[in-house]
């Protein structure tokens, strides 16, 4: 479909704003060089962005070739992006500026009231309102990330095994409970954490090629990012790769899924940490598990030895299919990435006469437990750049 004039102007506004956000301070002539737009066009686009309060002229002046040049910098002092994350234990809300810097963050345990979406949504609504109240600004983008598969239009949570949910319209529940969500009159993005986290990991490693992201939290999930423009992100149920023939029956209906032999519940059970998890929550129990593996505690070592082998085997199958250039482990698996890398490398094929098969390395997430939030903030910025004057 051909772009009309308004589409082209929107796209060019995004290009110019993107230059200013990325460079932090740039002259109009730099932007023209970087975007290929004419100087006249850049001057007109900048005027619109200044008018909208997203860009301003900096007090710093750069001298080049003897002529002073006026630099532009991000403004948007009255504008913010709001990102909310719902995981198995916590509800978190982050308010950031348009450059992605965090202005406020509120996090609270929701206590995992099983099968009660309204109770969880009330906690999420309260953290969103508290974070927004702490930074009174116009909301340019509001997005919600969940640890669960999402689908439909408008998007809903399809099922959440951590919380005992079937299909749940989280956004509708929030609109009824949060003042800030109720008055937000544009569409609210609802995404699963693995796809936004995978995209953030890919973006953090410019030019890496394709990337496979595998994360462990309450279960195991992930996504693959293929290197194209824009990057193609495909979510996958990596925890449900059926790794053990005729293995244990999984909640998904298959037998021998990766999550049944290397998921957090089974690792904690084998390490004798199930009572710890019931008492202190999953996150603390997994931290304790990692500490015990590091300390060489025999039960934890035995549990992890089995788990890391199964994870490496699942990666082997997936890598043979998708040929990623890099494999990134997120969630609690990030702290154990070196172990998985060693096991994965040891089971790679060797092709006679052709040297070793070029294999991907397994590395830890660049963002740790915040990968999904960082990804969601990044996605919010991309939506802002796609239509900077929409709000």
Question: For Zn ion, which is the closer residue by CB, 104 or 252?
Answer: 252
Minimum separation from the CB atom of position 48 to Zn ion (A): 51
Per-residue binder mask for Zn ion (CB under 5 A), 2-41, x = binder: ----------------------------------------
Cα gap 204→326, rounded to integer Å: 12
Subset of residues 215 to 274 that bind Zn ion, contact rule: CB under 5 A: 240, 250, 252, 254, 257
Contacts of 41 (CB under 8 A, 6+ apart): 12, 32
Minimum separation from the CB atom of position 240 to Zn ion (A): 4
Question: For Zn ion, which is the closer residue by CB, 74 or 235?
Answer: 235
Question: For Zn ion, which is the closer residue by CB, 54 or 250?
Answer: 250
Q: Is the dihedral of CA 260, 262, 268, 270 positive or negative?
A: positive
Minimum separation from the CB atom of position 52 to Zn ion (A): 48
Total residues binding Zn ion (CB under 5 A): 5
In terms of C-beta distances under 8 Å and separation of at least 24 residues, what long-range contacts does 150-158 make, across chains too? 150/190, 150/191, 150/192, 154/187, 154/190, 155/189, 155/190, 155/191, 156/190, 157/190
Minimum separation from the CB atom of position 215 to Zn ion (A): 16
Q: Are 304 and 295 in contact (CB under 8 A)?
A: no
- What stretches of 147-243 adopt beta strand conformation (E)? 150-151, 156-157, 189-192, 211-216, 220-226, 232-236
* Alpha-carbon distances, residue 289 vs 215, 266, 305, 362, 369 (angstroms): 16, 12, 13, 21, 16
Minimum separation from the CB atom of position 239 to Zn ion (A): 7
Question: For Zn ion, which is the closer residue by CB, 18 or 256?
Answer: 256
Q: How far apart are the first and last CA of the chain?
A: 25
Question: For Zn ion, which is the closer residue by CB, 24 or 248?
Answer: 248
Minimum separation from the CB atom of position 94 to Zn ion (A): 31
Minimum separation from the CB atom of position 167 to Zn ion (A): 19
Cα gap 381→100, rounded to integer Å: 7
Cα gap 290→244, rounded to integer Å: 25
Question: For Zn ion, which is the closer residue by CB, 52 or 252?
Answer: 252
Question: For Zn ion, which is the closer residue by CB, 38 or 321?
Answer: 321
Cα gap 380→141, rounded to integer Å: 6
**Which positions touch Zn ion (CB under 5 A)?**
240, 250, 252, 254, 257
């Amino acid at each position: 479909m051909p772009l009309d004039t308004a589409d082209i102007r929107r796209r060019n506004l995004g290009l110019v704003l993107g230059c200013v956000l990325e460079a932090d301070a740039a002259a109009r002539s730099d932007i023209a060089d970087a975007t290929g737009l004419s100087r006249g066009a850049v001057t007109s686009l900048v005027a619109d962005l200044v008018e909208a309060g997203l860009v301003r002229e900096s007090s710093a002046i750069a001298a080049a070739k003897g002529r002073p040049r006026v630099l532009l910098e991000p403004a948007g002092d009255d504008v913010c992006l709001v990102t909310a994350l719902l995981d198995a234990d916590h509800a978190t809300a982050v308010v950031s500026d348009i450059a992605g810097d965090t202005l406020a963050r509120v996090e609270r345990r929701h206590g995992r009231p099983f099968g009660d979406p309204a109770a969880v949504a009330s906690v999420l609504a309260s953290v969103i309102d508290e974070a927004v109240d702490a930074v009174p600004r116009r909301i340019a983008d509001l997005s919600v990330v969940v640890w669960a598969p999402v689908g439909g239009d408008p998007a809903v949570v399809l099922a959440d095994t951590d919380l005992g949910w079937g299909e749940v319209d989280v956004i509708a529940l929030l609109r009824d409970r949060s003042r800030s969500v109720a008055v937000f009159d544009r569409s609210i993005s609802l995404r699963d954490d693995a796809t936004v986290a995978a995209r953030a990991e890919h973006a953090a490693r410019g030019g890496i090629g394709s990337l496979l992201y595998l994360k462990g939290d309450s279960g195991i999930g992930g996504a693959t990012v293929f290197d194209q423009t824009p990057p193609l992100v495909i979510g996958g149920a990596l925890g449900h790769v059926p790794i053990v023939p005729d293995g244990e029956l999984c909640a998904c209906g298959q037998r021998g899924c990766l999550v049944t032999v290397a998921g957090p519940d089974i690792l904690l059970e084998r390490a004798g940490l199930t009572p710890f998890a019931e008492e202190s929550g999953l996150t603390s129990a997994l931290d304790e598990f990692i500490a015990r593996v590091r300390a060489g505690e025999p039960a934890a070592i035995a549990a992890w030895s089995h788990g890391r082998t199964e994870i490496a085997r699942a990666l082997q199958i997936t890598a043979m299919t998708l040929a990623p250039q890099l494999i990134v482990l997120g969630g609690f698996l990030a702290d154990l990435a070196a172990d998985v890398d060693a096991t994965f490398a040891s089971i790679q094929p060797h092709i006679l006469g052709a040297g070793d098969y070029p294999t991907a390395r397994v590395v830890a997430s660049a963002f740790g437990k915040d990968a999904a939030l960082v990804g969601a903030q990044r996605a919010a910025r991309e939506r802002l750049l796609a239509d900077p004057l929409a709000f």
